[in-house]
Copies of this chain bind each other. A is one copy, B any other.
Amino acid sequence: MIKSGRITIHDIAEKLNITASTVSRALNDHPRISDLTKKAVHKMAKQLNYQPNHIASALRSGKSRLIGVIIPTANRAFFSSVVRGVEEIANSLDYKVIICQSYDDPEKEIETIDALLSARVDGIVASTGKQTFTFDHYQRIIDKKIPLILFDRGNQDLKVSQVVIDDYRGAYQAVKHLLDQGCKRIAHFTSVSKISIYTDRMRGYLDALRDANIPIDHKLIIEGDLQLEDGRISMEKLLRLKVRPDAVFSSSDFGAMGAMQVLKEHKIKIPEEVALVGFSNEPFTAYTDPPLTSVDQMSITMGKITAEAFFDELKTDKSNFIPQKTVLAPELIIRGSSLKCIPEPKAI
């Protein structure tokens, strides 16, 4: 007799005159169960419209088949793309993803971690917030032996697998590209906050110039918050210099966009007089006029690799697991804001 409304393995068992344990094993394709029984169980399950209760299963087995994802905000294309990558891999393995936003607030980050641990997720995938400087809450995840993978923003001290982009290389490529276009005075917008992603990009910028034997002009390096408005202010500042730059490499697309607006207001031609390169390949960069050259952060790939790192960790014996750090090569997307000419064939 079916009770309230929800069908359980007991209902199936009763109908077939077997026990719930047999049903459970049949559904899980246990080798000791005869094919005959398995077929009968599956048929009855379908007939009764049985829906397994993952909660019960999770409680008993200790595996929830849930992955917690913590991102600063889902509103930014980069993060939602990473999530998409994670989800793609996770779903293919019958895992579900719980997405939580930290809004770059360490307090919220802690709450979120608590909530996810209470939800008994099998693992957590996170990008730490901008304001996060202590990592005890992340250490707590590790202490509980729950796989933790960090992406985008890494951390040296935590012994966890990480997936990051090679910011240095992305910046180097971007500046190299500007040099190839014939630019000699290349300005750089960087962040006031000394997070590694920005300092790495700065190093890439500096090294690219050095390798091209171009002296560093510190008046061309401008610190700000890298938002649109900061980009505008920074560009205005550059235009007041005695000798103008002929290119700007901004550590953010928004900064570059601000610069683009100011340049256009001053009727300065892009890229002929000033070339522009941003960073992140935000979706809007394809639609500006001219379209903005930018460094793509391989967000979907990053998500997939992050998920794979998680499942690797899940499979591996905890005792001898060694965290892996994966560094992805970014891709320079060249568009009209920096492309002065068809690149000449290289001299041999």
Interface residues of A (CB under 8 A from B): 5, 51-56, 58-59, 64, 66, 73-75, 77, 80-81, 83-84, 87, 91, 96-101, 114-115, 117-120, 144-145, 257, 264, 283-284, 286-289
Contact = CB atoms under 8 A, between A and B. Distances in A.
4 tightest CB-CB pairs across the interface, nearest first?
A284-B284, A289-B289, A284-B287, A74-B80
A51 B140 CA distance: 12
A119 B96 CA distance: 9
7 contacts: A51-B118, A53-B118, A54-B119, A99-B99, A264-B289, A287-B287, A288-B289
Contact of A75 (B81, B120, B286, B288): B81
Given A75-B80, A80-B80, A97-B100, 10 more contacts: A51-B114, A53-B59, A53-B118, A55-B59, A55-B64, A66-B98, A74-B74, A74-B83, A96-B119, A284-B287
Given A56-B59, A117-B51, A84 B75 contact: yes
B96 A84 contact: no
B52 A118 contact: yes
Nearest to A53: B120
A62 to B, nearest CB: 9
A81 B80 CA distance: 11
A51 B113 CA distance: 11
B120 A101 contact: no
Nearest to A6: B144
A64 B284 CA distance: 39
Nearest to A81: B75
Contact of A87 (B96, B101, B120): B101
Contacts of A96: 98, 100, 115, 119
A169 to B, nearest CB: 25
Contacts of A117: 51
Contacts of A83: 74, 99
A257 B286 CA distance: 11
Contacts of A51: 114, 117-118
A307 to B, nearest CB: 14
Contacts of A100: 87, 91, 96-97
Contact of A55 (B58, B74, B145): B58
Nearest to A57: B118
